[in-house]
Amino acid sequence: SLATDTTINVYDPRSEEEQNLQHFLILDLDRALRTGGIHLAYQPKICLRDNRVIAYEALIRWNHPDYGLIRPDQWIPFAEQVGAIHGVTLWAIERAVQDLPRLEQKAGRPVMVAVNISARDLARSDFHSEAQAILSRYGVTPNNVMLEITETAVMRNADQARQMLEKLSRAGFRIALDDFGTGYSSLSALASFSLDELKIDRSFLTDIPTDAIRQRIFHTAVELGEALDLRIVVEGVETAAVADWLQRYPGLCGQGYYWGRPEPLSIL
Ligand code: C2E
Ligand code: CA
Ligand code: CA
Ligand code: CA
């Protein structure tokens, strides 16, 4: 049953009602992808040194005719569980590379587009070829595309993840480790993955302008990213106070409501 697997952090049904809702949703998934009920919102990643946009992250949005706006956390884990996520990933990659020229127009300069992928995608032995095939249809090269995978997803099956990230990286894709600091990976484990970017989870920013201990913890995360020679993106920057505090790390990048909320391309 859905509830018995405690070793992996997936869907945890809270009520029968909720579970039924998720089943109904997934039945609608293909139609929603085809007919525009599901779309992508884009949130900028900013260079702290000059406030320039370096990338846009695609975040999926589902506007359901019966249930309204459904947050990704409410259905993505279930889609992963029932094996429906891979189609979503390929759809998101396709839509994101289609949108890339217009994102570059908005930014006024070359940018990357980032797409969130799941552990299930890494289990598909030909994912790198599928992804590459989509890009070539739009004349986009993989080095313009950042694939974001959470630390937890990577550590769930580290050998499998290592192999696929290596293939994706050799194909030219950029790889970001998402929600870093929530997945308990060791420095040596991190060093064994083909990574380009470390996204420091937003939980690190709690009380950061005033709490000396938290500042030291944050500093350790930054040093780790630097030791691995990764680009570092600080997630969840909401206020000027936090953005100002971060100025002591001018080499970092940031993302958060302070610089921009995720918005559909039409109103970005
Ligand atoms: P994530 O990849 O870590 O994305 C960041 C989440 O934080 C997004 O939530 C974003 O809207 C939110 N956020 C951005 N800036 C701020 C801020 O300053 N403060 C706060 N409190 N939140 C901020 P969202 O869009 O609800 O997405 C939640 C998660 O769902 C994502 O976390 C990602 O893991 C997953 N997700 C979203 N789109 C996709 C997708 O296309 N495919 C897959 N597999 N997962 C996706
Ligand atoms: Ca992400
Ligand atoms: Ca994240
Ligand atoms: Ca997250």
| Secondary structure string (H, E, C) spanning 160-203 | HHHHHHHHHHHHCCEEEEEEECCCCCCHHHHHCCCCCEEEECHH
Q: Which of 43, 46, 59, 97 to mutate to test the pocket of ligand 1 (most atoms within 8 A of CB)?
A: 59
pTM summary value: 0.93
Q: What is the DSSP letter of 70?
A: E
CA atoms in the 13 A half-sphere facing the CB of 10: 21
CA of 116 from ligand 3 middle (Å) equals 9
pLDDT reported for residue 13: 52
Q: Is the CB of 179 under 6 A from ligand 1?
A: yes
User: What are the pLDDT digits (tens) for 205-256?
Assistant: 999 999 999 999 999 999 999 999 999 999 999 999 999 999 999 999 999 9
Tokens of 203: 């939980």
Q: Is the CB of 118 under 6 A from ligand 1?
A: yes
pLDDT reported for residue 93: 98
- Other C-beta atoms lying within 10 Å of the C-beta of residue 36: 8
CA atoms in the 13 A half-sphere facing the CB of 75: 24
Which residue has the CA at smallest separation from atom 11 of ligand 1? Answer: 262
CA of 252 from ligand 4 middle (Å) equals 19
pLDDT reported for residue 58: 98
Point out the ligand nearest to the CA of residue 120.
1
Where are the strands (E) in 9-49, listed by range?
38-47
136 within 8 A of 176, measured Cβ to Cβ: no
Q: Is the CB of 44 under 6 A from ligand 1?
A: no
d(CA 203, CA 66): 33
CA of 116 from ligand 2 middle (Å) equals 5
Q: Is the CB of 257 under 6 A from ligand 1?
A: yes
Residue 221: φ, ψ to 5°: -65, -40
Distances (CA, A) of 207 to 102, 232, 237: 37, 20, 12
pLDDT reported for residue 11: 53
Distances (CA, A) of 170 to 72, 133, 167, 226, 229: 30, 15, 5, 22, 18
**Tens-digit pLDDT string for the chain (268 aa):** 344 444 444 455 566 777 777 777 888 899 999 998 999 999 999 999 999 999 999 999 999 988 899 999 999 999 999 999 999 999 999 999 999 999 999 999 999 999 999 999 999 999 999 999 999 999 999 999 999 999 999 999 999 999 999 999 999 999 999 999 988 788 888 999 999 999 999 999 999 999 999 999 999 999 999 999 999 999 999 999 999 999 999 999 999 999 999 999 999 9
Please list, in sequence order, all residues whose beta carbon lies within 8 angstroms of the beta carbon of residue 125, skipping any fewer than 6 positions away.
164
Q: Is the CB of 73 under 6 A from ligand 1?
A: yes
Q: Is the CB of 181 under 6 A from ligand 1?
A: no
Burial class (CB in 10 A: 0-12, 13-18, 19+), 207: exposed
Q: Is the CB of 119 under 6 A from ligand 1?
A: no
d(CA 131, CA 153): 19
Beta bridge partners of 178: 150
Please list, in sequence order, all residues whose beta carbon lies within 8 angstroms of the beta carbon of residue 50, skipping any fewer than 6 positions away.
none
Q: Which uninterrupted H or E stretch holds 69?
A: strand 68-70
